Structure 1
C-alpha cells in the first residue's frame, strides 16, 4: 500500500493535493479521477446510518442510543450491532460512519449524554474498541469522536477545557487510545479548545495521537470546526464540510509563502489515500458487508434494546403474567422517544410504541394522564393527502417565481433540506397537503422553519411573518426551528387544504440550501385535569399500572445542555398519584441520561429504557413479560437529587474556561470520594433470577471466580472487578473499574469466570510517562461498584 500511495501522491500537484484535504460537499470527501480516487460519502452514525442526505424516502434502522448500548456491558453484542451498521452503510452508499461518540459522562447535565457510552473510561474504551473492530471488519470506516474533552454542549464552539495531563491521559484520552489499538481508520476532532488551543490545531493531535499511539488514519474536523488556515494545517487532515473556505486557495498561498510546508500537506494526502484504499475507494471495489433482511435487523435492535434496559428496583411485580390487566399511562407510552436529538437522529422504516408493544401481548387500557408536547408535532402521515398524487403524504415544490422547478412526494411532516441543488435554484419552497381531522375540536395548525413563511388554509392566508431563531447553535436552528401556528375548530372528518410557502434562504456555496421545514399540528386534547383523573381511575381498576415517563427533544439533544434533572411537566405528580391508587405501579423511564425520581421508593418497580431505538415497544413487552431479561447494568450513576451530584458544571466561566478541577474523580469515583450515596450506583442492575459469587483466586493479573445462578430461570450477570489502594502516595480514586465479564447461566448451574486485569489498570500518568506504584492493590469483585462481596490482594 505504501508504494501505491507514493506513486499516486507523485501524480498530484499542489492544487490537486489541496482539493483532497477539504470536503467536496456537506457529507462527502473529495475524489480525483486522475488517480482513480472516488469521492467518498460519509454519514452520521452513532445510533444508525442516516446516509448522505436527510430524507424519509430512504429510511434507516434506528439503533439504541450510546447509553443503552453501554448498559449491556456486552462487547459481543456490539459486534452484532457493528455488522448491522456496516450493512446499513453499504446500503446507503457511504464509506464511513461518524461514530461512536466516546466522550465521557462528566456531568449528568451534558446534552449529548445519551449519545456517549459511560462515565467510566474503561467501559467506554471496551465498547468503543468493539464498535470500531466490528464495523471496520467489513471495510466500512468507523470514526470515534470527538477528540477530546467535548463532554458538554454549552458554548461548545468556544469553550476551553482546562485539564491536567494526568486527567486527560487516564480518563478522556483513554477511549481514543483503545480505539486506535482496535484499528480506527478515522478520528474526528472536536469544536472545543483544550488548555487554550482549539482542538483542530491542538498539539494533542500530534502527541499522543499520531505520535506515541501511531495512528495512521485520517483526522477529520467536526463540521465547521476548522478556525484558521495555517493553524489547523498542523494536525487536522480533512476540513469538513466542503468545499473549502479557510483551506483551498488561502492554504495554497500559505504554502507558497512558506507558512505551511508542503510536506505537511503531503502527510495529509498520504493518510487520505491510505483511508481510501482501506474502504475501497481507490479500486472502486468496497468490501462485501453482511446481508440483513428487515426482520433480521429488527431482531438485532429488539434484542439490543431489551439487553440494555436496566431494572433498578423490583418488589416481585415483574415479570408480568399473561392474564394481567394493565393501565398503560404516561406521555411516553404513546409518544415515546426512540432516539436522542441532533446529528444522531435517523428516520426509521417503522417504530413500535409501548402502547403497540404491550397491547400485542397483554390486556391494555391506555391514556397518557399528562401531556408533554407543548409544541406542534409533525403531521402524521395518515392525516394528510398529497394533492398531486392522491396518496398519503405531502407535496414539496421548489419554485422560481411562478415556475415549478421540481415537485417531490414526501412522506413526513418534518423535512430536512440538506444540500438539495434544486432547492438552491429556487426562490420559494412550498408544502401542499389536504389535512383530514380525525376528531372534532380545536386544532393547532402551523409551520416550523426560519425566514419568511406564509400559511394558507383553504386559500386564505392566516399567517405571514419572518421567523427568526434566538439560540446560538446552528444545529438547533435546523433541527428545532421556531414554530408559528393558528387555531381552527374542525369537525370530525372535515378536510382542509394546507399550503406553506417559505422564501428560500441564501444557498451556502457548494452546499446548497440547509433548512428545517415542518408542517405541524396539535390535535384537540381533553382538559388537563380530566385527563389526569382518567389515568388515576384506570390505574385503580387495573391489576398493574405501567407509567412511561421521559424527557423531550427540547431537554436532551445535541446543541445544548440540560438545566436540571427533573422530568418535565406533571410527570412526577402523575407517578405519585398512580402509585397511591395502585401499589403495583411500574415506572418505565424513557430518557437517555439520569433524571430525578422522587417517587422511586413508592413504586413496585423502576425500569430504565434509555432511548432504545425503533423496536422500543416490542422490546419493552419482552422485558415486562419475562420473554427477555432486562439485561442492563448502569453505565453511569443515577443521583437522588441534583444537589448531591459532585461534578455538575457544564457552562464555562466568563473567559470561556471550563476547569476540570475534579481531575480523575468523575462519575462513581466522585461519588465515592464525596461519600454521598446515589439513588443507584454505577454497575447496578437486577434481572429475574438470583446469584452467588464465590471462590475468588488471583494469579498474577488473572482473577478467577465461580458464578452460580441460584434462581429458577436463565439469567445474565455482569461480573465487575475494581481495584483500590490504601495509603497510596498519589491521588487515586477510592475504587476504579479494572475489568468486567458478561455471562449467561442456566438455573442451578455454575460458571467459572476469568478476568484479565490489564497493566494499565495499575498504572498512573506522570511527567515521565506511565508508572506503577510498587506494592499491594486490593481487588474487589461483585455486581456493582457498591456490591463487591469478594476481595483479594494483588502485589
Structure 2
C-alpha cells in the first residue's frame, strides 16, 4: 500500500526518475514545485562527518566539528545495549543540529578475519551481539527523528577489491553468520535506511540480488524502509531498481535518470516498480524532515564530550594484571613512554573520520588523575621508522620510575577504509622499544590503541595490559581513570585474539585477490572455530578482567529463560558481563560447540548478590536448514552455559527442546571437516559439497578484454600500452608517497584508484565522465588507442551539447 500515491500521480516520469539518484555527493534531489526537499546524508558511525556540498568528489574533506565518540569496535566491548542507544541518541541530536537527515551507520559486517581494514567500524565476530548493539544504536539515532542507515548489506568482509569481489558463501553460513545482525537491526532496531554493499554475492551484485533484496530483506523480514547504494556501488541501475534499491549515490548528473526513463518506455521496467521505489524514498524524506520543523538547537559540546568519556570508560578492556600492578598505587612514580601518549590514537581512517570538538591527550590529563608522572619520552617514531636515540632516552627515563606506562598500537593509516592490514603485528620499532625497556624496568603497563586484534608475542614482557581500542575524543582521559582506579574496568572482548594469524580459520581464504573470495570456513568464524576445533588462543571471545571478582551460582532453566545468581566476591564495586551460550548435544547436524545467545551487564557493590534472568528468544535454538530453506529447530538435548567468557563457563544446565521435525540437510560423510569443526583448510571438493555447486574460477581471465567491472589494477595485463603504463605509474606513485611519508595520500590511491572498478569512474565523478565516455576509455585500455580517444572526445562533446540544451 503506497503512502504517497496522490503526490506520485502529480509527478512526471522525468521527476520520478530524478529522485532515484543523488543531486551531488551528499544530497538527494528535490522537486520544488511539489514541496519535495533534498535530504542530506552524512557519514557517522561514531560521529557526524558533515561536509560542505562543494566537497571534493572523493568525499574525504574535513567535516564540521562534531563529537568523536568511540568507534563501534570499542562500544561493543561494553556489551551494554543501553549505552549503544545513548551514543545513538547523542549522535542523533548532533545530526539534527547539523541538519542531517540520514546518518550512514552503524556497520554490522562480521569480523571474519582480523586483517580487514575496517574492523574498527564493526561491532563483533558474533552476529547476535553485533545485531543487539546495532539495534540499540539505531533506536537511539532514530529517537531524534532522523534515520540511521545500517551497512553494508552484505558479505562485505574485506576492503581490498570491495567494489568488485564476488563472495562465495553457502546459504546456511550467509543466514546464520552474515545476515543475522542485519535481521536484528531491521526487526528490533526498525532501521529506516539500509546501505547495499558494492560486492557480488554468489555471482550477483548485492544491490541487484533478488534473493537478498526481495526474498529475504523485503519478504521474510518485511522491511519497508529505503535501500541506498554504497557510494559508487551501483552497477546495473535498472536491475538495482527492480530488486528494490531506491537511491543511487552519489550523483550521476542525470545519466541513470535517462536509463530509467528509457527502461520504462521500452517495457524493461514497470512504472509501478518505480512508483513503489519513489514512495519509499518519499517516506524517508518526509519522515526525517519532521526533525527540522522547529529551529535546530545547538548541542552541548561539553556534555557530549563527557558522555563520550563515559562510553570509553565502560568499553576499556583490562587484558592482563600480573601482581595486581593496576590500579596504580598512590605515590608510585610513573614514566610515560610512547608517541600515542602525546598524540592520542582515537579513531579510524577513511569515510568515518570525525573532526572532534575537543580532543584529550594523555599528557594534558595527568594532573587531575592523581598519577605522579616523572616525565615523558616519545620512544618510537609513529609510522614505524627506527630511531635508536629515542629508545635510549626512553630507557634512561624508565630507570628512574616505579612503573612504566607504555603507549603502543597501530597508527592511523594502518587501519583504513579501502585497505586491509598486511599482518597482525604491531610495528617492530615499538617491540624493539618494549624489549629495551624490559631490560631496565620490568614493571611495564602497556596501553594499546587500535581498533582490532593484534598478535602479542611480547606479552610476557608486560605486567599490565589495558586495551582502549579507539576511544574517541575523550579516550585518553578515560584510560587514565582506569589506570588510577577511579574506574573499575568492565569491558570484554567481542572478538577472539589468536596466538598467531595463521591460526585463524580464514587464513587460506583472505582476502580474495582477483575474482572471488571463498568462505570455506562456513559457520566457523571467530570463537565458533577456536572452541570447536580446540585451537589455543591468546584471549578468548568475551574475555576481560576487573579489579574485583565475581562468583556465579544457582542456575535455573525453564523453556523460556535461564536465571542465576552473581555475587561480587571482591572488595570494590564493579560491573560483570554474564554471557549465555547454547550448545546442541546432537551430532546429526554440524554445529559450533557453543554460540552466544544472550548477555547481560550487571553492576554489583562489593559483597552484593543479584539474581539475573536471560530470556530465550527466536534465535536461541534455531539453525538454517538448506533442504527446507527455512529456520528450523533440531529436537535434541541442549547445554545452557553461563560464562564470564566463551572459554570460562561457570554454570551448565541441560534441557531437551522439541524440534520442528525437518529432514537432515547434510550427508555427514561428504562434509568431514565441517562435522569436526577443523575447517582452516577445506578442500575444493568438500566446499563444493557444502555450497551445492562447482566453485567458480577465482582468477582473472587475462585473455578477455577489460570491461566495466574489472578494476584499474587489472591494467597490469591490459592489451593497451597506455593502460599498462598508467598501471605502473599508479604503483610508482603509491610507492613514492609511502617512501616520503605521505601514507594517507598513498592509501587514497589504493582505495580510490587501484581497486576501483572501471564503472566507478562514471559512478564516482558526479557525471564528469559518463558511461559512453567510459566505453572510449575501455577501448584505449584494450589496445585501440586512437579509436578509443576519438570515441571518448565525441561522447564528451555530445554530453556537453546535451548539458547546454538542458540549461
Deviation at 1:356, TM superposition (A): 2.1
Deviations 1:279-300 (A, max 9, x none): 126xx84589897412210111
2:550 is matched with 691
Counterpart of 1:703 in structure 2 is: 562
Separation (CA, whole Å) in 2 of partners of 1:104 and 1:42: 24
Q: What is the CA deviation profile of residues 181-211 of structure 1, one whole-angstrom value per residue up to 9, with x for unaligned ones?
A: 1211000000111000111211211120011
Secondary structure in structure 2 of the residue aligned to 1:741: strand
Question: Which of 584, 592, 607 is the matching residue for 2:451?
Answer: 592
Q: Give the equivalent residue in structure 2 for 1:9.
A: 8
| CA deviation vs aligned residue, 1:373-410 (integer Å, no higher than 9, x gap) | 369xxxxxxxxxxxxxxxxxxxxxxxxxxxxxxxxxxx
Is the deviation greater in 335-344 or in 641-650? 641-650
2:219 corresponds to 1:219: no
Measure how far apart 1:231 and its partner are. 1.8
In structure 1, distance between residues paired with 2:29 and 2:553: 58
Alignment match, 2:286 = 277
Question: For the Cα contact (< 8 Å) 2:2–2:279, is it kept in 1?
Answer: no
Task: Indicate conservation of the 8 Å contact 2:301/2:357, yes or no.
Answer: no
| Aligned match for 1:149, one of 152, 155, 159 | 155
Q: CA deviation at 1:167?
A: 0.6
**Are 1:255 and 2:264 matched, yes or no?**
yes
TM-superposed deviation, 1:653 = 4.8
| C-alpha distance in 2 between matches for 1:57 and 1:76 | 28
Tell me the distance in 1 between the aligned counterparts of 2:92 and 2:624.
36
Q: Distance in 2 between matches of 1:785 and 1:154?
A: 31
Which of 328, 337, 341 is matched with 1:329 structurally?
337
- For residues 309-342 of structure 1, the C-alpha deviation after alignment (integer angstroms, 9 at most, x for no partner) is 1001102011113422211112212123110011
1:91-138 CA-partner distances (Å, limit 9, x unpaired): 111011000000000000101011000000000010011111111111
For 2:639 and 2:3, the matched residues in 1 are separated by 52
Match of 1:571 in 2: 430
Mapped to 2, the partners of 1:341 and 1:102 lie a distance apart of 17
User: Any residues of structure 2 matched to 1:137-176 within 5 Å, and which?
Assistant: 137-176=143-182
Query: What are the within-5 Å matches in structure 2 for residues 362-381 of structure 1?
Result: 362-364=371-373, 365-373=375-383
User: 1: CA distance between counterparts of 2:35 and 2:564?
Assistant: 56
2:365 aligned counterpart, secondary structure: helix
- 3-state SS in 2 of match to 1:743: strand
Question: SS in structure 2 opposite 1:300?
Answer: helix
Q: Is residue 657 of structure 1 aligned with residue 516 of structure 2?
A: yes
Partner SS, residue 256 of structure 2: coil
Alignment of 1:428-467 (within 5 A): none
In the alignment, which residue of structure 1 is the partner of 2:637?
Answer: 776
Normalising by structure 2, report the TM-score.
0.77
Partner of residue 761, structure 1? 620
Partner of 2:47: 48
SS at match of 2:391: helix
Q: Tell me which residue corresponds to 1:750.
A: 609
Decide whether aligned partners of structure 1 residues 11 and 554 sit closer, same or farther in structure 2, where only a CA change above 3 A counts: same
* 2:76 is aligned with 1:67: no
Give, in whole Å, the separation in 2 of the partners of 1:3 and 1:188: 22
Distance in structure 1 (CA, Å) of the matches to 2:395 and 2:193: 53
Q: How many Å apart are 1:358 and its aligned residue?
A: 3.0
1:208 aligns with 2:216: yes
| Residues in 1 aligned to 2:597 and 2:536: alpha-carbon distance in whole angstroms | 22
Residue 61 and residue 324 in structure 1: after superposition, are their counterparts in 2 closer, same or farther (change >3 A)?
same
Matched, 1:293 2:297: no
1:533 to 389, 392, 409: 392
The residue correspondences of 1:473-492 to structure 2 (distance < 5 A) are: none
Question: Residues of 1 paired with 2:296 and 2:132: CA distance?
Answer: 23
TM-score by length of 1: 0.78
Aligned to 1:523: none
Question: Which residue in 1 is equivalent to 2:111?
Answer: 105
In the alignment, the residues of structure 2 paired with residue 639 and residue 327 of structure 1 have an alpha-carbon distance, to the nearest angstrom, of 30
Instruction: Confirm or deny: 8 A CA contact 1:339 1:345 kept in the other structure.
Output: yes
Residue number in structure 1 paired with 2:127: 121
Q: Does 1:194 align with 2:201?
A: yes
- Larger deviation: 568-577 or 609-618? 568-577
Structure 2 equivalent of residue 319 of structure 1: 327
What's the CA shift string for 1:321-375, capped at 9, x where partnerless?
3422211112212123110011110111221122222354322211111112369
> How many Å apart are 1:726 and its aligned residue?
2.4
- 1:183 and 1:289 map into 2 onto residues whose CA distance is 25
Shift of 1:646: 2.3
Q: How far apart, CA to CA, are the structure 1 residues paired with 2:481 and 2:102? A: 33
1:120 and 1:3 map into 2 onto residues whose CA distance is 37
Equivalent-residue separation in structure 2 for 1:737 and 1:753 (angstroms): 17
Query: CA 1:356–1:285 in 2, change beyond 3 Å: closer, same or farther?
Result: closer
CA contact (8 A) 2:586 2:637 kept: no
Task: Quote the residue 2:740 is aligned against.
Answer: none
Q: CA deviation at 1:601?
A: 2.2
Between 1:615-624 and 1:678-687, the stretch displaced more is 615-624
**Distance in 1, Cα, partners of 2:533 & 2:294:** 51
Q: Secondary structure at the match of 1:614?
A: helix
Q: Aligned partners of 1:266, 1:136: CA distance in 2, in Å?
A: 26
Structure 1 residues 256-302: Cα deviation after superposition (integer angstroms, max 9, x where no partner): 11111111111110101111232126xx8458989741221011110
Give the aligned CA root-mean-square deviation in angstroms: 1.8
Task: Say whether the 8 Å CA contact 1:372–1:569 is kept in structure 2.
Answer: no
8 Å CA contact 1:109, 1:648 repeated in 2: no
Determine the structure 2 residue equivalent to 1:25: 24
Higher relative contact order (CA 8 A, sep 6+): 1
Structure 1 residue runs of 4 or more that deviate by more than 6 Å after TM superposition: 287-291
Q: CA deviation at 1:613?
A: 0.4
Q: Higher helix fraction: Structure 1 or Structure 2?
A: 2
Q: Check 1:667–1:287 CA distance in 2 against 1; reply closer, same or farther (3 A cut).
A: farther
